[in-house]
């Protein structure tokens, strides 16, 4: 058992993988991010990435080989194996920065390589995984079948097709949250912060301290990835804001510093549906300095509402609400949520996640204990 590291070394491990037997079986100065080691007789191969994965970083994929794990390692004379150096300037080829390759062989003997890319005009989607067919040269080098640029279309594996049905919607009728949901903290399983049992058929979230950009609120914010370009996400929430600025509703989230919230809440004028945001253009990693902005409010005296966010396919989000799920009213104007947008939810620099969407209930300074009941969360895709 061996471990290859971005430090450019191959270490031999014990059979159980817990102990380093030899820390430097081999050394190669060029290896960088995400190195992978595999064998296709008679050679061992290492693949790796360089230049970083951010937008415009010109990420590339390289390869080297050796007859022995001890080296010497011969770099592929055509390195980089995969690249796309357009830095977002070619709308016809949106896949930037191929990185972190994983060559694989199917049971039928066919070779492919997986890697991730950045879609230059869809920062909300974070990094996407691609699959590229691989061919081998007569002298033993692997090559992407369709050239160095990631393919827009290509041949898939000659294997039985199984449709991938990604679960996004949830009617909260099960005893557990659907597998699409996650928390940015270790989940609280006590039932005190959120529960599917207190009111069967509903997700109940107790109002948490602070607002959505407070770390304490994370315990009560189930999230899921935005993995579509053109879609609606709708929830039905029962909530009676009693005091202060208690709020409950839909959340678009990137980090503590970048959020957009559509909520049932209360102001000095009474109950409203509010569209608000947190942004921190000075720093994308420090949520402390994020500024809260109320974008729009609409008077609403009810205790149950349908809340909806609609993505138009070009990273603009429109927010609306309805008392009955039939007649909808827009709240404010569309909000740009891509890279550099009004509320920047893109994957960039040190965040690594892209946009997420979730549900929340917060106290916002109120001293009362309250809760919100979410009847459903429904995603409709138009992609």
Which distant-in-sequence residues (6+ apart) come within 8 Å of 17 by Cβ?
A: 1
* 8 Å CB contact between 162 and 156: no
Average pLDDT over residues 78-107: 87
What gap in Å lies between CA 133 and CA 123, rounded to an integer?
26
Residue 183 — very low, low, confident or very high, per pLDDT cuts 50/70/90?
A: very high
- pLDDT at res. 351: 61
Share of the chain above pLDDT 90, in %: 72
> Is this model's pTM higher than 0.85 or not?
yes
Cβ neighbours for 252, distance < 8 A, ≥ 6 positions apart: 226, 259, 260, 261, 309, 317, 337, 343, 345, 355, 356, 357
Whose CA is closest to 79, among 125, 120, 132, 31? 31
What residue segments make up the domains of the chain, in order of their start?
A: 2-144, 194-381
DSSP at 143: E
Per-residue pLDDT tens digits for 332-363: 999 999 988 999 898 765 566 789 999 999 99
Q: How many CB atoms lie within 10 A of CB 100?
A: 19
The structure tokens 């014990």 sit at: 14
Mean pLDDT of the region 245-265: 93
Q: Is the peptide bond before 29 cis (omega within 30 degrees of 0)?
A: no
Within 13 Å and on the Cβ side, how many CA atoms surround 195? 12
User: Which CATH class, in words, describes the domain spanning 194-381?
Assistant: mainly beta
Burial class (CB in 10 A: 0-12, 13-18, 19+), 358: buried
| Angstrom distances, CA of residue 162 to CA of 19, 157, 159 | 39, 12, 9
Q: Is the pLDDT of residue 309 over 50?
A: yes
CATH class label, 2-144: mainly beta
Q: Is the pLDDT of residue 150 over 50?
A: yes
Q: Which residue stretches of 213-352 are H helix? A: none
CA distance 316 to 348: 18
Whether the Cβ atoms of residue 115 and residue 96 lie closer than 8 Å to each other: no
**Residue 194 corresponds to which tokens in the numbers above?**
């959120």
HSE-CB at 45 with a 13 A cutoff on CA atoms is: 20
Output the pLDDT for position 181.
Answer: 97
- Tokens describing residue 334: 């569309």
On the 0-12 / 13-18 / 19+ scale of CB atoms within 10 A, 192 is exposed
| Rounded distance between C-alpha atoms, residue 327 and residue 275, angstroms | 18
pLDDT per residue as tens digits for the range 233-242? 999 999 999 8
Confidence of residue 289 (pLDDT cuts 50, 70, 90): low
Q: Nearest-CA neighbor of 232 among 378, 333, 121, 375?
A: 378
Which residue reads 């001293």 in tokens? 367
pLDDT score of 2: 94
349 vs 115: CA distance, rounded Å: 19
Residue 131 has pLDDT above 50, yes or no: yes
**pLDDT at site 323:** 97
pLDDT at res. 348 = 67
> Is the bond into 80 cis (omega within 30 degrees of 0)?
yes
State the average pLDDT over residues 302-318.
97
Cβ neighbourhood burial of 307 (10 Å; 0-12, 13-18, 19+): buried
Question: Residue 283: CB partners within 8 Å, gap ≥ 6?
Answer: 257, 289
Contact 260, 294 (CB under 8 A): no
If you average pLDDT over residues 144-159, what whole number do you get? 92
């Amino acid at each position: 058992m061996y471990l290859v590291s971005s430090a450019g070394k191959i270490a031999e491990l014990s059979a159980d993988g817990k102990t380093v037997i030899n820390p430097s079986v081999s050394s190669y100065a060029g290896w960088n991010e995400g190195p992978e080691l595999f064998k296709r007789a008679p050679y061992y191969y290492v693949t790796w990435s360089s230049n970083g994965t951010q937008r415009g970083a010109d990420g590339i994929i390289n390869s080297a080989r050796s007859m022995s794990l001890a080296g010497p390692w011969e770099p592929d004379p055509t390195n980089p194996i995969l690249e796309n150096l357009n830095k977002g300037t070619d709308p016809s080829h949106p896949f930037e920065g191929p990185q972190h390759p994983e060559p694989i062989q199917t049971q039928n003997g066919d070779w492919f390589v997986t890697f991730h890319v950045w879609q230059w005009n869809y920062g909300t989607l974070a990094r996407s995984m691609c699959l590229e067919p691989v061919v081998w040269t007569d002298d033993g080098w692997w090559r992407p079948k369709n050239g160095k640029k990631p393919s827009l279309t290509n041949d898939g594996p000659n294997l039985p097709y199984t449709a991938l049905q990604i679960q996004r919607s949830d009617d909260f009728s099960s005893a557990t949250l659907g597998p699409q949901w996650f928390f940015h903290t270790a989940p609280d399983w006590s039932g005190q912060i959120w529960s599917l049992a207190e009111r069967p058929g509903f997700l109940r979230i107790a109002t948490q301290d602070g607002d959505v950009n407070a770390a304490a609120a994370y315990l009560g914010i189930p999230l899921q990835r935005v993995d579509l370009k053109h879609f609606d996400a709708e929830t039905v929430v029962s909530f009676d804001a009693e005091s202060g600025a208690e709020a409950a509703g839909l959340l678009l989230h990137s980090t503590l510093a970048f959020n957009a919230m559509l909520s049932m809440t209360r102001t000095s004028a009474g109950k409203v549906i509010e569209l608000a945001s947190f942004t921190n253009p000075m720093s994308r990693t420090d949520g402390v300095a994020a500024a809260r902005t109320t974008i729009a409010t609409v008077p609403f005296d009810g205790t149950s509402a349908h809340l909806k966010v609609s993505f138009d396919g070009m990273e603009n989000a429109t927010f609306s609400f309805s008392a009955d799920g039939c007649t909808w009213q827009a709240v404010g104007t569309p909000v740009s949520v891509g890279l550099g947008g009004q509320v920047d939810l893109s994957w960039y620099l040190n965040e690594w996640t892209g946009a997420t969407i979730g549900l929340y209930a917060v106290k916002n300074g109120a001293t009362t204990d309250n809760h919100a009941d979410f009847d459903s969360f429904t995603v409709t895709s138009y992609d």
